[in-house]
Amino acid sequence: MQKGFEFVQVGRAIVRDPDFVNKLQTEEINATDCDHCNRCVAEMANKGLVCTANTKGLKTKEYKL
């Protein structure tokens, strides 16, 4: 980890919590609570890109496709 990364996948984590990267930077959290269920992807055509498993009351942002 000390050598860094060429690529980091955070797409679903940001759909789950739009403040994910900021929370990592401030060390408020150290991992996402996204369970990679892919329901957000399955619902893209109906609702746009939004976390459908948001049970923690996180603020959400709809991403229109």
**One pLDDT digit (tens) per residue for the chain, 65 residues:** 577 766 667 888 888 888 999 999 999 999 888 888 888 888 888 878 888 886 665 555 555 54
Locus of tokens 């403040």: 19
| pLDDT at residue 47, as a whole number | 76
The whole-number pLDDT of residue 28 equals 92
3-state secondary structure of 37: coil
For position 18, what pLDDT does the model report? 87
Distance CA 50, CA 15 (A): 6
Q: For position 12, what pLDDT does the model report? A: 87
